[in-house]
Copies of this chain bind each other. A is one copy, B any other.
Amino acid sequence: MYGCLPKGDPMLSAGLPQGAVPKLERPGPLRDRVYEALLELITTRALQPGQHLVESELAGHLGVSRQPVREALQRLNTEGWVDLRPAQGAFVHEPTEAEADQLLTVRTLLEAEAARLAAANAGSAGVAALESLCAEGERAVAADDVDTAVALNAAFHAKIMDLAGNTVLAGLAAQVDRRVRWYYTPVARQRGRQSWIEHRALIAAITSRDEQLATTLMREHTEHTRRSYHERARS
């Protein structure tokens, strides 16, 4: 076995199995973990909108110094999660009706473009992955496993982004999506069954490389979620 080294690979290390190296899990920068923690706390409503975030408090609560907390807050600020008032501190951003609507508009735009690009670029492997996710999602809905269904929904859209092959678009969409999901959490559980039917149609459009149809379907799909948001808001 060890004698079967590839030609152009002269004695690379000790013939370690290529991908199986555990990569020596490093804790990673502390600021990122603080960022993740805070984002989790915000999205789960543990930190309510408008709440004043005191740096020293958070630092003490997380067992770190103020600096990582500051850097995490900076990042959360640029991404629109907290408002950073000078010389006064950080406050959890308060979602507005108007803003939610704007976010949904932008999301529609980005997702529709992603669907178009996916239809243009996707290979059979990509389509297969979508099929798989869709099947799993339908199973989850059938079993009333809401959490799994929501997660699979996110994965489905992420996969389409991936197939679109535009990292810039993907980055923007990821941010917008996460915020939409924040505003939208109470509503998300309602739409489930219908959502996956629309996904099926979308896959068909991508498979047949029909860019126009894929765009239209995705636009309608996200517009539906938007409408249900507003209906929810009215009640």
Q: Is the CB of A168 within 8 A of B106?
A: yes
- What CA separation (Å) do A106 and B114 show in the bound complex? 10
What size tier do the contact residues of chain A reach? 20 to 34
Q: Is the CB of B28 within 8 A of A86?
A: yes
Chain B residues near A75 (CB-CB < 8 A): 74-75, 78
Chain B residues near A29 (CB-CB < 8 A): 86-87
Chain B residues near A70 (CB-CB < 8 A): 71
Type the 1/0 row for A168-201, where 1 means its CB is closer than 8 Å to any CB of B.
Answer: 1101100010000000000000000000000000
The verdict on A105 contacting B169 (CB below 8 Å), with A28-B86, A29-B86 known, is: yes
Chain B residues near A87 (CB-CB < 8 A): 29
Copies in the complex: 2
Chain B residues near A80 (CB-CB < 8 A): 171
Type the 1/0 row for A190-215, where 1 means its CB is closer than 8 Å to any CB of B.
Answer: 00000000000000000000000000
Q: Does A83 contact B (CB under 8 A)?
A: no
Chain B residues near A74 (CB-CB < 8 A): 31, 71, 74-75
Q: Is the CB of A172 within 8 A of B169?
A: no
- 5 closest A-B pairs by CB: A102-B168, A102-B166, A78-B78, A74-B74, A106-B168
- Jot down 22 A-B pairs with beta carbons below 8 A, ordered by A: A28-B86, A29-B86, A67-B67, A71-B74, A74-B74, A74-B75, A75-B75, A78-B78, A78-B79, A99-B167, A102-B166, A102-B167, A102-B168, A105-B166, A105-B168, A105-B169, A106-B113, A106-B166, A106-B169, A109-B110, A109-B113, A172-B172
Contacts A67-B67, A75-B75 known; 14 new A-B pairs at CB < 8 A: A29-B87, A71-B74, A74-B75, A78-B78, A99-B167, A102-B168, A103-B168, A105-B113, A105-B166, A105-B168, A106-B166, A106-B168, A109-B110, A172-B176
Query: Which residues of A are interface residues toward B (Cβ below 8 A)?
Result: 28-29, 31, 67, 70-71, 74-75, 78-80, 86-87, 99, 102-103, 105-106, 109-110, 113, 166-169, 171-172, 176
